[in-house]
Structure 1
Amino acid sequence: MTNEFATLSDFRALLAGAALADADMFAAASEHNMQLTKPPGALGQLEDLALWYRSWRGGDNAEIAAPQVIVFAGNHGVAARGVSAFPAEVTAQMVMNFQHGGAAINQIARVNGATLDVVALDLDQPTQDFTQGPAMSENEFVAALQAGWQAVDATADLLVVGEMGIANTTSAAALACALLGGAASDWTGRGTGVDDAGLSVKTQVVAEGVALHGGQGDGLETLRRLGGRELAAMAGAMVRARCLRIPVILDGFICCAAALCLAKTQEGALDHAVAGHQSAEGGHARLLEALGKAPLLHLGLRLGEASGAALAIGVLKGAMACHASMATFAQAGVSDS
């Protein structure tokens, strides 16, 4: 698949002109939902999910058959500041684990019938330390957006994106702080499990990055300055999914920070996305509130790698199976009044 953008300006234009939900299909789905053999609203949020999904995918009550999970991996220059409980080499080691089928996401994707793709992004070239300058040049940023764009399978009917990257909770906290305000301590959590001293260092790094780069541009420019290649790739994949009318399930704090950058660039940029879960990472609940996304699951997860969102595939599959395959009152010979 060729890229459909060559510059950051091109990408902004694609985001601004991306598809909208189909109001007629939403109305048709709503009418169908009212004919199913259940009291109105008895399936609660599952009904809302089904109507949302069909407004993006269209079709005749189809069930979800081809979900795709993509895990993007990148390394961060700020890791050298001691913001993580693990060294940067763990990123590449975990990529190998994903590729060999040994990680949690491999199991969760498998049981939910999803394909899993792993995309490693220049792991031998970490981004710049964002306390010293922008994390990525514009060319590096565009290349990461393109990698995410290219990774999306055009035949998928649902997309989940996740990440792996030592120090990327630091990057996510800086993005949230820069774009939503508040103190660095409001957004900075323990990530991989740093101790109190490590949390203090991490919070200081976030504060330094926001002081240097906050207010220097829109969400995408902030992502270039404070993000990482894997966060940029997730953003690129989300926009590609939007252009293909593929609904998206957002993962945890880091994924939602990448999504926030799109939302702060273009109003409605995340209309095709739902939040898979609320993680245990500090700040994620506030970030979801800012995005206006209610999580489907709340299981205390803080693993990343798309694990929470991939679990939520089952919820969305259940919603669409009921919507597509339940009998109507007429078909079942049941009185609806």
Structure 2
Amino acid sequence: MTTSATGMPFDDILSLIDQMAGPDEDARATVRARDAVLTKPAGSLGRLEDLAEWVAVWQRQAPPKVLRPLVAVFAGNHGVANQGVSAYPASVTQQMVENFAAGGAAVNQLCITNDLGLKVFDLALDFPTGDITREDAMDEMSCARTIAFGMEAIAGGTDLLCIGEMGIANTTIAAAIYAALFGGDAADWCGRGTGVDDEGLKRKVDAVEKALAFHDGNLDKPLEVLRRLGGREIAAMVGAILAARLQNIPVIVDGFVASSAAAVLYALDKAALDHCIFAHVSAESAHSRALDAMGVKALFDFGMRLGEGSGAALAAGIVKAAVQIHEGMATFEQASVDGPAEN
């Protein structure tokens, strides 16, 4: 589906969530039937078998296919960066976007390795969102328009979407979102992000505490949490995840910050992430806490904390392998291999 570039009020976004379809059980059954006769012991490929089934269920087709995988990286700047919560200046966001365009970032190399498309979206980097310690990050229309932009960002077509982000200070933003959605103290959700020292970490915790206090009484609705505490890149990822569901596209979510966008949708509807998998457990200390709160398990834990869709791009290679195994393996009959002995 295509949405208007002028944006949508929050009521219309909620209406789209109500339109989300559930899993395709016919596709699941077809995948399981084929898996049962492939030349391997039952269940011997473990989670790879689950991944092939997951792709088929949410693409609503069997066998599943990954022919046009896409990594979408959304970049935004944040007023709270002025609070000294990051080891890097806000100018690095734009510089890294240029590095993506030049092919020099880690995610570029992962996309080359796994034959993935890459699109990078600059979300008004010259105009940071409001400093959440003293004002709303966005007004409702701006937030809704950014969600709509994220929905349109995948309009070019893909059959497997990986979402990632770039934005100095956005681990502070994500920590504030998690605290508002899932409770706990600011310190429970704040880590060292880009590598802040002890004083930087204290400033980060202080900023999240101030933000939660400033917006207290107005954080009872997930979309209000997003607009008051979030960022444009996070709002755009919310839109991309939602649009993927409506367009039958499975989604791989990257790390700590990307998962905060998923958390907003989870808080709206616990089934809203059924078409998603989470790539990895970030080295950002609170990411495992967030995954637990959403009841999900990541594919791997490599101690990564880069962002920029790097974990999702790596996971996409695993998903592609799972799909290729399912489609390309011979059956016992095709290979003239004896199947399991009957007792």
Question: Aligning the two structures, in what range does the TM-score lie when normalised by the shorter sequence?
Answer: over 0.9
Is 2:228 aligned against 1:225?
yes
Matched, 1:152 2:150: no
Is 2:19 the counterpart of 1:41?
Answer: no
Residue 62 of structure 1 and its aligned partner are, at CA, apart by 3.8
2:297 to 278, 294, 297: 294
Matches within 5 A, 1:50-61: 50-61=52-63
Q: What residue is the counterpart of 1:308 in the other structure?
A: 311
Counterpart CA distance in 2 for 1:108 and 1:101 is 11
SS of the counterpart of 1:274? strand
- After TM superposition, the structure 1 = structure 2 runs for residues 1-337 of structure 1, keeping only pairs within 5 Å, are 2-3=2-3, 6-214=8-216, 216-337=219-340
Q: CA deviation at 1:154?
A: 5.0
* RMSD of aligned Cα (Å): 1.3
The 1-side partners of 2:142 and 2:75 are apart by 15
Q: CA deviation digits over 1:134-159, x for unaligned, max 9?
A: 21001110121112111114531100
Identity, % of aligned positions: 50
Q: Look up the equivalent residue of 1:3 and give its one-letter code.
A: T
Letter in 1 for 2:3: N
1:48 & 1:292 partners in 2: Cα distance?
Answer: 17
How far is the alpha carbon of 1:250 from its aligned partner?
Answer: 0.6
Give the Cα separation in 2 of the matches to 1:16 and 1:165.
31
**Greater CA deviation, 62-71 or 163-172?**
62-71
Shift of 1:218: 2.1
Distance across 2 between alignment mates of 1:285 and 1:318: 26
2: CA distance between counterparts of 1:335 and 1:57?
32
Q: TM-score, normalised by structure 1?
A: 0.97
Give 1:172's aligned amino acid.
A
> Using the alignment, how far apart are the partners of 2:199 and 2:31 within structure 1?
53
The answer to whether the 8 A contact 1:214-1:222 is kept is: no
Contact 1:54–1:61 at 8 Å: present in 2 too?
A: yes
Amino acid in the other structure paired with 1:315: I
Cα pair distance change 1:2/1:27, threshold 3 Å: closer
5+ long unaligned stretches in structure 1: none
State the shift of 1:129 in Å.
0.8
Contact 2:162-2:251 at 8 Å conserved across structures: yes
Q: In the aligned structure 1, how far is the partner of 2:111 from the partner of 2:327?
A: 22
* Misfit runs of 4+, over 4 Å: none
Q: Secondary structure at the match of 2:51?
A: helix
SS at match of 2:161: strand
Question: Displacement of 1:222 after TM fit?
Answer: 0.7
The one-letter code matched in structure 1 to 2:34 is H
Deviation at 1:59, TM superposition (A): 2.8
- CA distance in 2 between partners of 1:315 and 1:2 (Å): 30
Q: State the 1:210 CA deviation.
A: 1.8
Tell me, yes or no, if the aligned pair for 2:222 and 2:264 is still in contact at 8 Å: yes
- 2: CA distance, partners of 1:301 / 1:242: 27
- Tell me the amino acid that sits aligned with residue 299 of structure 2: L
Contact 1:66–1:113, Cα closer than 8 Å, also in 2:
no
- Cα offset for 1:109? 1.1
CA distance in 2, matches of 1:252, 1:60: 29
CA contact (8 A) 1:70 1:119 kept: yes
Deviation, structure 1 residue 56 = 1.0
Report Cα offsets for 1:40-80 as digits up to 9, x if no partner. 10000011111111111133424311100111000101001
Secondary structure of 1:18's aligned partner: coil
